[in-house]
């Protein structure tokens, strides 16, 4: 069993904010896989198990706030006996520009409170994470205001292209090796000047 988790905050006021990039990507996967409405359980909304090729897949949106996201991840992983290496967490990343993506199989939370919570509840940092660039905060501004704010139309266009590519990368995660995936994802960028997507 594999598990893909989208991090975000519940509530209409947080919809389409930078911090909800993980939720936006998970929504795309739900639509792509015709997963239906999901079930409210395990402190989150859960879809599946879904059959994707030869794999069985669960999709999860924690319905706690970002800082407690790991509660739902831990509950689902324990119930289904899912190894951390079979989990992919989708999150926003302020240290990446809009239109950029980064994949890692382990590592620190990098200051991201949702990832900190997942690490705490799984008891390990050895799980996959796909980070979606949302850009850093302007000098002198508040970080919370930045991540809970919405992108400019230009940056939102870049993010939309990145989310479209990330949707494909999530499906490749089910079949390709981590090194193959890193080679594809970590070189990905959108070029807003000519409208092209490059990898």
pLDDT digits (tens, 9 = 90+) for 142-177: 777 778 778 788 888 898 999 999 999 999 999 998
**Residue 14 is labelled as binding a ligand:** yes
Alpha carbons 170 and 179: distance in angstroms, whole number: 14
Tell me, what's the pLDDT at 141? 67
| Residue 131: other Cβ atoms inside 10 A | 26
The domains found in the chain, sorted by start residue, are 1-185 (3.40.50.1470)
Q: Say whether pLDDT at 49 is over 90.
A: yes
Specify the pLDDT at position 197: 43
Catalytic residue among 19, 112, 121, 146: 19
* Residue 20, marked binder: no
Annotated binding residue 113 = yes
Give catalytic status of residue 19 as yes or no: yes
Question: What's the token pair of residue 165?
Answer: 């590519």
pLDDT at 147: 81
Tell me the β-bridge partners of 50.
57
Element (H, E) at 87: strand 87-93
CB atoms under 10 Å from CB of 199, counted, come to: 12
67 in a known ligand binding site: yes
């Amino acid at each position: 069993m594999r598990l893909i988790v989208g991090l975000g905050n519940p509530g209409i006021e947080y919809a389409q904010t930078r911090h909800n990039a993980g939720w936006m990507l998970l929504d795309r996967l739900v639509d792509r896989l015709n997963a239906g409405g999901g079930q409210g359980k395990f402190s989150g909304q859960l879809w599946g198990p879904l059959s994707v090729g030869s794999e069985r897949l669960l999709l999860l949106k924690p319905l706690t706030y970002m800082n407690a996201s790991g509660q739902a991840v831990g509950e689902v992983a324990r119930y289904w006996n899912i190894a951390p290496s079979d989990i992919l967490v989708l999150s926003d990343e302020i240290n990446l520009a809009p239109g950029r993506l980064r994949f890692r199989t382990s590592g620190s939370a990098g200051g991201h409170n949702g990832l900190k919570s997942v690490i705490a509840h799984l008891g390990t940092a050895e799980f996959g994470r796909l980070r979606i660039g949302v850009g850093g905060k302007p000098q002198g501004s508040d970080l919370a205001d930045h991540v809970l704010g919405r992108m400019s139309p230009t940056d939102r266009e870049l993010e939309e292209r990145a989310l479209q590519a990330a949707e494909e990368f999530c499906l490749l995660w089910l079949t390709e090796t981590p090194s193959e995936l890193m080679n594809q994802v970590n070189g990905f960028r959108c070029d807003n000047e000519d409208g092209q997507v490059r990898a």
